[in-house]
Chains A and B, each alone.
Chain A
Amino acid sequence: MKRYLKVLLLASCAALATGVAHANTLRFAEAQEISSMDPHAAREDFTLSLLANVYEGLVRWNADLKIEPALAESWEALSDTKWKFNLRKNVKFHNGNPFTADDVIFSFTRAGSPGSPFAGLLEPIKEITKIDDHTIEMTLKRKYALLLNDFAGWYILDKEFQESVGAEKPIDLSTTTGGAMTTQGVGTGPFKLSERQPDIRTVFVKNPDWWDKPQHNIDEIVYTPITNAATRVAALLSGEVDFIRNAPSQDIARIESTPGMKIMRAPHLRNIFFGMDQQSAELEGSGVKGNPLADVRVRKAIYQAIDIEGIKRSIMRDNSRPTAVPLAPELPFYDASLDERFPFDIEASKKLLEEAGYKDGFTLPMDCPAGSFINDERICQAVVGMIAKVGIKAQLNMHTPVQFDTELPAGKYAFYMLGWAGLPTIDAYNIMSATFHTPTGDLGAWNPKGYSNKHVDELIEKIGTEYEPAKRQEMISEAVKTHRDEVGKIMLHQQFLTWGMSDKVNAIVPADEYTRFWYYTMK
């Protein structure tokens, strides 16, 4: 009997202790799993988004997506290619080690090492020199306008810790070790890792020694990947999780009508559009001579045949905003005066096709991903029906996202759906250099055989090196306008984020889709 009493007593003590220690636990579920705890091993949005709570860069994005100081307290440009950063003092890593200039230099060498996914991001930096423990100087290889934007996604690690676990280099997939950072990690951020079972459960607890004054009141975050969307929604509705990032459109009404649940909406940076082969002499499988897509009138005809409001109403259930330019309003240098669509007009479309010499239409091979963008499959199917009305017979091929992302840049598609958000740079330059620029070297990788205009190419390159905001704005607006008028892409819409959560949670929904838990509060 005595023994049982003891057990009972212990059990209730334990219950009490855990009850007190974790007053506010945020249980979070999403389809994906982070690739590892190594913030330099994968440049993938979801991993970087969750790890932003554990690791910090020299700067960070605040709640309004503006750059603010993080591990660097202040900075100044000494010349066009030389910057000085004053590092924050009295910052401690989760293991108690102090943060110093050596950690920044170590993280630069680590993330910038050949084979690291961040080597490209840090490529403009020639060298970093230590002035003292809390001052560094950075020399650039050339003028580069987006240094700070890029730094927000480059997280700083503790040199000593990395060396002690033998993880001086990012996890290398060609070796067999896997590395310590699949389940360990030490940063300076508002939360620290306390438990990690890959694919099952990852727990973060509040960092009581965080340098910043916490606005959040969360003690513990329990992350569980739940692959199946229906199960994820069920887990939210049954109260087993408090927060899911992307609620599927068909479940939004159900979540909103459940007492104690809510949906938080916000526009996403991602704009969805159709890209086209405008360079090939012939369009294979079209049944007509030449390449109809090389003719701006044909591109405009397809554009005007698409009933974008209909897509918004019946497929997106009003969780989208039809757009005319690929820059979202949440992005710096967005120019609202340019965001005006060519109207939906079947007659005008038919007339354009007739002028271009395709009165009887043609066959259009069309390639779409299934599962990359919100309702991608259904939108493509709807568009097939819409352009059939002006005589264009689309042959729709659906692909898995991984196959799509391989074949698209390889130039295998003539007419394809694509979405671009400009992450993690959050600047027009990222969108333009990847999807506007004529494919040359590293630029235009996601515009194979696509839009090409010499003047726009020149503008884009200048946008990448111009520091003066007014001049950047002028060039960005000009490039966007030219691209819009020449129908470089057939724009569709800007997606909305629809995050489902319990009433207890008060979140912020930033346009880059990052989960910045240090702004969250719980009742």
Chain B
Amino acid sequence: MISLLATRLTSVVLVMLVVSGLSFCVFNFLGDPVNNILGVNATLEQREELRVALGLDQTTIVQFWRFVERAAVGDFGVSYRNRQPVIDLMLVRLPATLELVLTATLTALLIGIPMGIYTALRPKGLLSRIVQLVSLLGISMPQFLIGMLLILIFSVELRWLSAFGRGETVRIGWWTTGLLTVSGLKALIMPTITLAVFQISMIMRLVRGEMLEVFRADFIKFARARGLSDRAVYLTHALRNSLLPVITVVGLQIGSLIAFAIVVEAVFQWPGMGLLILQAIEFADFPVMSAYLAFVGFSFVMINLIVDLTYLLVDPRMRVK
């Protein structure tokens, strides 16, 4: 276990270096942030001056090295777009994304797993068929469309929920939470559903498929032969053995949700990391982009580590090794 941690932690640094290194190679194709800062009337001389001041006149390798040097001491520079230190900017945005992703994942698990179990147990039931059909829709509908439909119904027509933003937030240290106010909770509803629809469908289908597989396994027959109750067979033996792939997939999904909740955040103007990177790309805000990509690399490695550790909890066989 300790060696697992050690290797993972060294790979974190490597992944972050590679990812931000790649991002520096892409910047050259993106455009020049100087235009956005100085405006269209700036003279060539002024543009060049600012380019030098920002170090944009250097080669990609030099720029990258300077970034690594400064990042090593926790300095990611200032955002070109809204002039805040990048670290502050990310710390303000991170809670919004994390709260959204966690509520969406929780919702998906709470709905997806029971639905998966039910459809596995009654594969031919009418309700199962309906659920299956709806989940097909959930998997194939683009998030953008779901979000806009929700806004159309609940904001524009019914006027129950706000179409944008996080509502009122409460500050706890550097963390801002929307979970403690009514408007904050209401603001979470539509983005959570939009983000969770795909996951609910996916988790349901995964649980159903795995359980049907497990039902055919020998140990289930033995369990039945031993005269265990249905409940014990299904929930203790079958479900537990079906969960490993679910944990893997959900874990990896959390990573990609944090990194790519972009669509949902853009539709609902959710002030999180996804919206931040979208705005940064549009502006060619290099400091934000490179810090963000390094952060995404970091969270993917970390989440993989947590997934591996969870395996140990769920599957006793792994502990022995």
Contacts and interface: CB of A to CB of B under 8 A. Distances in A.
Nearest to B52: A174
Interface in A224-251: 224-228, 230-232, 234-235, 237-240
Given A176-B78, A178-B88, A230-B148, A36 B83 contact: yes
Contacts, number: 166
Interface stretch (A303-311, A312-320, A359-367, A398-406): A398-406
A256 to B, nearest CB: 15
Interface string A22-43: 0000000100010110100111
Contact of B83 (A38, A225, A425, A446): A38
A224 B165 CA distance: 9
A264 interface: no
Interface string A385-424: 0000000000000001111111100000000000000001
A402 B282 contact: yes
A442 interface: yes
B267 A36 contact: no
Interface in B6-59: 29-33, 35-46, 49-50, 53-55
Interface in B130-168: 148, 151-152, 155-156, 159, 162-166
B269 interface: yes
Nearest to B35: A405
B45 A442 contact: yes
A434 interface: yes
B155 A240 contact: yes
Contacts of B46: 117, 119-120
A280 B39 CA distance: 28
A402 B36 contact: yes
A182 B78 CA distance: 11
Contacts of A120: 41-43, 46
B39 A403 contact: no
A115 B49 contact: yes
B284 A235 contact: no
A174 B164 contact: no
Interface string B296-319: 000000000000000000000000
B33 to A, nearest CB: 7
B84 A178 contact: yes
Contacts of B80: 173
Interface in B60-92: 75, 77-78, 80-85, 88-89
A120 B166 CA distance: 40
Contacts of A38: 83
B107 to A, nearest CB: 22
A234 B267 CA distance: 11
Nearest to A421: B40
Interface string B236-271: 000000000000000000000000000000111101
Main secondary structure of the interface of A (DSSP, over half): loop
A431 B53 CA distance: 29
B163 A234 contact: yes
B234 interface: no
Contact of B271 (A199, A231, A404): A199
Contacts of B159: 238-239
A173 B37 contact: yes
Nearest to A116: B46
Contact of A402 (B32, B40, B55, B75): B32
Contacts of B45: 442
B283 A199 contact: no
B54 A231 contact: no
Nearest to B287: A173
B195 interface: no
A173 B53 contact: yes
A411 to B, nearest CB: 12
B164 A231 contact: yes
B51 to A, nearest CB: 11
Contacts of A124: none
Interface in A404-457: 404-407, 424-425, 430, 434, 441-442, 445-446
A178 B43 contact: no
B42 A173 contact: no
A42 to B, nearest CB: 6
B39 A42 contact: yes
A43 B89 CA distance: 22
Nearest to B271: A200
Given A226-B164, A403-B31, A445 B44 contact: yes
A171 interface: yes
A445 B47 CA distance: 12
B39 A44 contact: yes
B152 A234 contact: yes
Given A200-B165, A226-B269, A176 B41 contact: no
Interface in A303-345: none
A117 B37 contact: yes
B83 A178 contact: yes
Contact of A43 (B42, B55, B282): B42
Contacts of B35: 402, 405-406
B275 interface: yes
A142 to B, nearest CB: 16
B128 interface: no
**Ranked 10 nearest A-B pairs via Cβ:** A43-B39, A402-B31, A403-B31, A406-B32, A442-B43, A238-B155, A406-B31, A36-B83, A405-B35, A174-B53
13 contacts: A29-B164, A33-B279, A43-B39, A117-B37, A120-B41, A174-B54, A174-B55, A176-B85, A182-B84, A234-B156, A240-B163, A430-B41, A445-B43
